[in-house]
Structure 1
Amino acid sequence: MAQYGPVLIAGPDTRVIELRVHGVMGTTPESLVDAVVAVDVAGDGVGRLVRPADRLRRPAPGPVLQAGGRPVPRTVEGYLWSAMTSGGFAKAAWALLLPFSLANMAHWMLPPTGRVLGGTLRSLVRLAALVLTMLLVTQLTVVSLDLVAGQWLDQFEHLRPWRGPIGLAPVLLVVAVLHKLSAIDWKVYGVQPAPRGGLLPGAQIAADPDAPALHVLHATAGLACAALLAVGGPFAPSSDGVTVVWVAAWVLIAASVLITLLLDAPTEGRWFKPWPRRILVVLTILEVVAAAALTPMPSGGRHLPGTNPTVESIAAVLAVTCVLFGLVLIPAALLARGCWSALPGSQRPWAGGWMAAPVLVIASLLGGGFGAGVGITVQQALRDNTLQLPPGYRYVTTLWGVAAVLAVVVGLIGAAVLVLPRGAKPVEIDLLHPGKPEAAKRAAQAWRIARLKRNHAHHIVLVAAGVLAAGTVVSFLMQVRGVVLPWWAQPLPGIGITALGAFAIGALRQVYVASKSPQAARQLGLLNDIAGFWPREAHPLVPPCYALKAIPELVARAREHLAEPGARVVLAGYSQGSLLAAVAAARLLDSLPAHERERVGLVTAGSPLQWAYQRAFPAVVSHDSLVELSRAMGGRWRAVCRGTDAIGGGVTTWERQAFDGQLLGVGYEGALPAAEPSEHGALVLGGDHWLPDPQHGPIAGRRWRPGILGHNDYTSDPEWDRAIAAAAGLDTAEEPLTLWNFKR
């Protein structure tokens, strides 16, 4: 196999530490290190470092690597971070706040921008995130204060004087719980230097010192909206006795919005210090208490006068903010085109760098839909036909009815597309499965499906955002003009009610099940694994960023091993773990002297770095940053790939083509030599090791996995060891056949 970089001669004290990082949905320690038994060797129980163990539960060495005709000792160690995203009710409950996570993610999806445009876009994302919180709290207030306390409790005469406090107490409790959850952060053991600015991937991933301020501002704005709804809504107080409370609510909302707009990227020394934040919290609590005590509650099952105007006004502000964000993002994306105009289409950012806009739209509509779904579910659970929700909810149900119908149609079309063969056979198939027509046929179908999913995942997001946005506009116009639904559209509100109710109940049930079942928690943790990677920048009510803990701890562990002169460390990341490993490798290279960097290697397996992260987050994991990382690694970055993997794919090569029975392609260093076949059927093109799937056959002395593996079990392939050896800078050339090794 060709070595793209210097080959380091293994001495008698040379050993390789393979530091594995798992992917989404977590795993067990045993699966991570390919052992029957594994034990912890370091960590704090949240970020765990594990190794295989012998029968006495002592850490055991891993299988040796073959390099340059001699065995090289290897230690297999795994970093387990799944406890940060799954396990327990609190972590499962984060899934309910998916809209907030999407809004926060939209901030990290912005293209590279200048100071003015970048500051404007970041401010608009933070404003949209703040208004999204205000909308959710307002919708909870509609349920608690208006639907339950104002209408349903009106039948209990002895409770009528207490309906205001009864209705606002749950809202205050929910906001307090959310505020407490948003303050949770993972503790990192050991002092780590802050990442230095540069081209390496993930250089911008750092804790935002403004996050505590955002916690307070979101809680203040949400509770002020609840108080505003209670005392009459945004346009006028419901009585003279609550005028002061009404004005105070507006002052708190205006202050929250203004301060949120003034906060920006991570910079120390913010002026919104703890004491002003505490004063704002006290004033907000006093405002809610005053609203609960003074709110004149209606009788006879009538609405609170502030319910409908408050919900509609906040929804309108959110819609306008999203539109402004999308409009400002257009020139920003156009100006950033110079960063990727020379790249082929498969390497350019999704939607030309405009992908943050549809993600923010989906976050907003999901948030509004979930709040409406909770209201509809509570209304139906109370079994009282006289209870009324705001009139605008009918148009929300119509919108979601249309979305549900379209989702079914798109699902059927997608199923048909996946089942029916389409497109040319991938050029790699015949080269990976020569003389095996049955395996080639199965592999070709799996390649087509995986390629279809990778190529069109962002199109689904764009279509969903477009349909929901168009439906929102139509619903708004129908509501303004008082249009009655035609006969053929009459079932849509019912379908929407069912969809929203199922959405709310299903989400709550899944959270409960996940809090009891580890397997269900790992499945639900998939959402947190993706969204929880990004620090709290636009929205504070998101899962604590595990990258801020995992990356420094990976770097610290690698440095511990590198303190031994003969050790070579290979960071091996699978799936989402490949992003952690790549950023950790970049940080490690950035902190090591030049003569130590050659002892660091990187292996990514089933990695979405190229087809997803590079294209979705062009300012954080840009193509240029990956080029810089590849150059810094000096050929010690190896990517283990399967074309049948819909989540992973090629990382260091693209534009692959077959010519004269050879696989050619382009990599970070330009046009590449033809791919070289390995002993067990893999094709090594540049830094990518393309594995045959299914594998060619059982190999004596190795674990065997039959069938199409796709995104699963990369370490079972014999090419894994060769990739690790190459990343360690060892000589992976085949031994010449001699009398002493021909039986192996």
Structure 2
Amino acid sequence: MLGDPRTVRITGDDTAAIYRRTDDADAEQRPEDYRDKPVAEAYVWCGLTSGNGARALWLLLLPFMVANLAHWMRPSSRGRRRTIRVYGVLVRLLGLTLTVLLVAAACEVALDLTAWQCAGTPSCADDRAWLGFLSPEVSGGGWWSQPGRRLALAALVPAALTGLLWYLSHRTWSAYESAQPYPQQQEQEEDTHRSALSRPGFWYGRPFVARLRAAHTAAGLLTVAAAVATSAARHDRAAGGLALLDGAGRVLEGVLIAGGLIVVYVLCRRGRKDTTVDAHLDRMVVTVLPLASLAVLALCLLYAGWDRPDWVSSGRLPGDQTFGGITLVQGLLVLALAVAATVLYRSDPLSGTALRGLGGPCVAMLACALGGVMSGGVAQRVGDWLDGSATPGDTDAPLPGPPVLLSWQAAMIPLLLVVVLLLVLLFGVRTLRRRRLEQARVEREYPGERPHESRTRKIARVRATAALTDSAPVLIGCVAAITLLLGAGALTGAWMTGEVPGVAAAGAPGFIGGAAQTAQALGSWLIGFGFILFVTWGRRAYRDASARRTIGILWDVGTFWPRAAHPFAPPCYAERAVPDLTWRMATWTQKTEGRLIISGHSQGSVLAAAAAWQLSPAVRKGVGLLTYGSPLQRLYGRWFPAHFGPAALTALHREVDCWRNLHRPTDPIGGPIGLEGECGPAVDHPPLKDPLAYGRTQTHPLPAPILGHSEYQADPAFDEEREELLQRLRPAVTRGLGAVPSQPGPDSEGSQGSSGRSSG
């Protein structure tokens, strides 16, 4: 980044730090040597977003991250504070259903398929020696062979999963959310046009995430307790056994209902508080709620393990009601979220907002779909493995298999893929048409050059492909709508027939019955294969630079935002990076009475803007911004209008000393900011030529590459704009700090410079 192999760390640690060239390490002690040139610094934050291969497991938390994105995608609004609160509550409740869904899937695999069905079926248990001590026939009626004790033992698996999620969230919470913001920000005045990212407590989510984590941990433990206790209570009521056991079961069911209501109340009672730095940690909720839920789980395990000699496992546990209820609640929450988003959008209809304000509900629907595919995929594959070559739902299958709803959902996957394929074909045709239009533009932009058909076609293809980013809202909206309809169809089919699709259509005409069986089998394999592919792709992302770059684009956006809807989402790196940059800029300007330019590329430009918002107004007036390949308007402005809308970016333009933005038509991520000088010179530089030369020239004797999103410093306009910004700041500079960036190495991605640059 600094263009010199000799660097020294100025401040920071191994996770994120500020670096300088070794020759510039003592620049403050030699002000006369830097009176006419800047001191370059680079902020490297790759340790916050990448690491060893174990971090690929974070991809398993993708549904939680996507649900968290839905919280920040709410439309901009005016005077709709109550609707904004309702929107936040709905997203938090939807995040809670995802936790319950994940734990319920673990219960389905461990309790229902393994401990209840397979261990209770001699033909299944005989083939698996590790289940022998749980089988009544294999173990000869051993102590663990009673169904209640089998369920109690298997319940340790989903309980351990809940504990693991708590541990990961607590560990990252201590490392990320605990970063202290710069105290000077508490003196800022409230501005209705300024982004919420400028508020003092925006990047300090420690207390709120702790409350969320306690509620979700309690919900997970109560889900496990309910899976064990309700099965035993159902047997006690049906068998007419001891009144004491029947009464204990009813009491525990009441306690579980009360615990669920308490969790919902804690979740809805209070949202994020970012107008001030919220340092109050509610120990009663954070500590007592998970421990009380753990105690309830222990009581339920003791209750289920009580001696019941006449209890025999048969059929399925009530998983259909569980997964059906979760699916129904999620659908209703998404619809309610769409209503709230529509009300907010109509109060302040900003042009360019993705899906007319429905981006949040659509993304929330995709989060539910991802959670369903991951949970259903695991259950389907484990069910197929346990019952051998039989098809779940067949009359001759040794096991009843997973809940019927999961089979119906699997049968809908091929239909969804057909719709996605049609959309891809549609976008492919549009891209071909756009490429033809771009070919004429390319020839006009390089006058005097001898046309070369293959060169022109290549440049036009890159431009047309880069424009596909702007079609993402249509794709996401269509997929979300189709997913909602297919989910409703799967739920209706499961409740009306009570059988898997292939069996339910057995009496239909041959074509329909065969299509249903094929869709069920194909969908079952697809979601299982998709889950495995998902994990392996995530692992590959930490070994292959190209795969890491592709995934990193979406990952950096998803983990930029604080955890406001789900505490088990991957940690927010900006809660460490933004305070780091703010502290560095504020302390440097106070110490030297100098001014600076903060330069950011791609996601680094978003961090640069966020850090500038956190500065006090006096310090912000001495800051210049140089952004390039920036998604501030093209991505963040469209999908997150409440925080990066035109009013917020205009206020930032007005409050910083100067701001220039570079972009290319071949860049699929970056784009223009769109501020036309309402409060100073226009932000956007005219689109840069890419490639720099069409054919071979004296300056470019070899064919110039098409750079797209990378290497903006290779364009002469970069040096010109940087020098112009430095000249603008120089009259007030006593000791300068500016930007002399270079392309970062492969280990520097995700780096942001308060005087350097970032590659997201």
TM-score range relative to shorter protein: 0.7 to 0.9
| Higher share of residues assigned helix | 2
Structure 2 counterpart of 1:366: 370
Counterpart check, 1:306 vs 2:326 = no
Superimposed CA distance per residue, residues 598-646 of structure 1 (whole angstroms, 9 cap, x where no aligned partner): 5421111111111211111111111111111112234x21111111001
Superimposed CA distance per residue, residues 523-580 of structure 1 (whole angstroms, 9 cap, x where no aligned partner): 5544431111111111111122111211121122223443465854211111111110
Distance 2:105 2:252 in 1: 20
Counterpart check, 1:44 vs 2:13 = yes
Counterpart contact for 1:598–1:729, Cα < 8 Å: no
Equivalent residues in 2 for 1:646-685, closer than 5 Å: 646-652=668-674, 666-668=676-678
Superimposed CA distance per residue, residues 381-426 of structure 1 (whole angstroms, 9 cap, x where no aligned partner): 4453433111111111012222223333333443444345456449
**Structure 2 portions without partners, runs of 5+:** 28-33, 126-131, 238-245, 391-397, 506-511, 731-760
Change (3 A) 1:514 1:643: closer
1:308 shift after superposition: 2.1
Change (3 A) 1:460 1:71: farther
Structure 2 counterpart of 1:470: 485
Structure 2 counterpart of 1:602: 625
TM-score, with normalisation over the residues of structure 2?
0.78
Deviates most, 497-506 or 39-48:
39-48
Counterpart contact for 2:9–2:20, Cα < 8 Å: yes
Could you tell me which of 389, 401, 405 is aligned with 2:414? Answer: 401
Amino acid aligned to 1:314: I
Change (3 A) 1:276 1:100: closer
Change (3 A) 1:552 1:382: same
Structure 2 counterpart of 1:628: 651
1:375 shift after superposition: 0.9
1:77 shift after superposition: 2.3
**Structure 1 portions without partners, runs of 5+:** 1-31, 62-69, 654-665, 673-684, 733-744
Counterpart check, 1:91 vs 2:42 = no
Could you tell me which of 463, 468, 487 is aligned with 1:447? Answer: 463
Amino acid aligned to 1:709: L
Counterpart contact for 1:203–1:620, Cα < 8 Å: no
Counterpart check, 1:728 vs 2:732 = no
Change (3 A) 1:691 1:519: closer
Superimposed CA distance per residue, residues 293-343 of structure 1 (whole angstroms, 9 cap, x where no aligned partner): 333799776345332212211222222222222123222221222xx3xxx
Change (3 A) 1:116 1:598: closer
Distance 1:700 1:567 in 2: 42
Change (3 A) 1:701 1:571: farther
| Higher share of residues assigned strand | 1
1:41 shift after superposition: 3.2
Counterpart contact for 2:211–2:285, Cα < 8 Å: no
Could you tell me which of 152, 160, 163 is aligned with 2:145? Answer: 160
Distance 2:549 2:51 in 1: 8
Change (3 A) 1:731 1:116: closer
Counterpart contact for 1:101–1:531, Cα < 8 Å: yes
Superimposed CA distance per residue, residues 274-300 of structure 1 (whole angstroms, 9 cap, x where no aligned partner): 134322222211222222333379977
Change (3 A) 1:555 1:698: farther
Amino acid aligned to 2:179: V
Superimposed CA distance per residue, residues 242-280 of structure 1 (whole angstroms, 9 cap, x where no aligned partner): 323222211111110122111223167799821343222
Structure 2 counterpart of 1:739: none
Could you tell me which of 198, 202, 213 is aligned with 1:203? Answer: 198
Distance 2:416 2:423 in 1: 10
Change (3 A) 1:531 1:400: same
Any idea what SS the aligned residue of 1:690 has?
Answer: coil
Structure 2 counterpart of 1:16: none
Could you tell me which of 252, 259, 265 is aligned with 1:258? Answer: 265
1:217 shift after superposition: 0.5
Could you tell me which of 107, 115, 124 is aligned with 2:90? Answer: 124
Structure 2 counterpart of 1:316: 328
Counterpart contact for 2:16–2:44, Cα < 8 Å: yes
Structure 2 counterpart of 1:459: 474
Distance 2:329 2:705 in 1: 53
Distance 1:551 1:152 in 2: 52
Structure 1 counterpart of 2:523: 496
Counterpart contact for 2:229–2:301, Cα < 8 Å: no
Distance 2:430 2:43 in 1: 39
Structure 2 counterpart of 1:706: 704
Equivalent residues in 2 for 1:338-353, closer than 5 Å: 340=350, 345=351, 348-353=352-357
Structure 2 counterpart of 1:106: 70
Superposition CA RMSD, Å: 3.4
TM-score, with normalisation over the residues of structure 1?
0.80
Change (3 A) 1:461 1:117: same
Counterpart check, 1:690 vs 2:687 = yes
1:515 shift after superposition: 6.2
Distance 1:624 1:703 in 2: 46
Structure 2 counterpart of 1:718: 716
Counterpart check, 1:390 vs 2:417 = no
Structure 1 counterpart of 2:30: none
Distance 1:302 1:318 in 2: 30
Superimposed CA distance per residue, residues 107-142 of structure 1 (whole angstroms, 9 cap, x where no aligned partner): 111123412111111111111111121111111111
Counterpart contact for 1:232–1:305, Cα < 8 Å: no
Counterpart contact for 1:404–1:499, Cα < 8 Å: no
1:441 shift after superposition: 5.3
Change (3 A) 1:651 1:705: farther
Distance 1:424 1:253 in 2: 58
Change (3 A) 1:547 1:417: same
Change (3 A) 1:526 1:609: closer
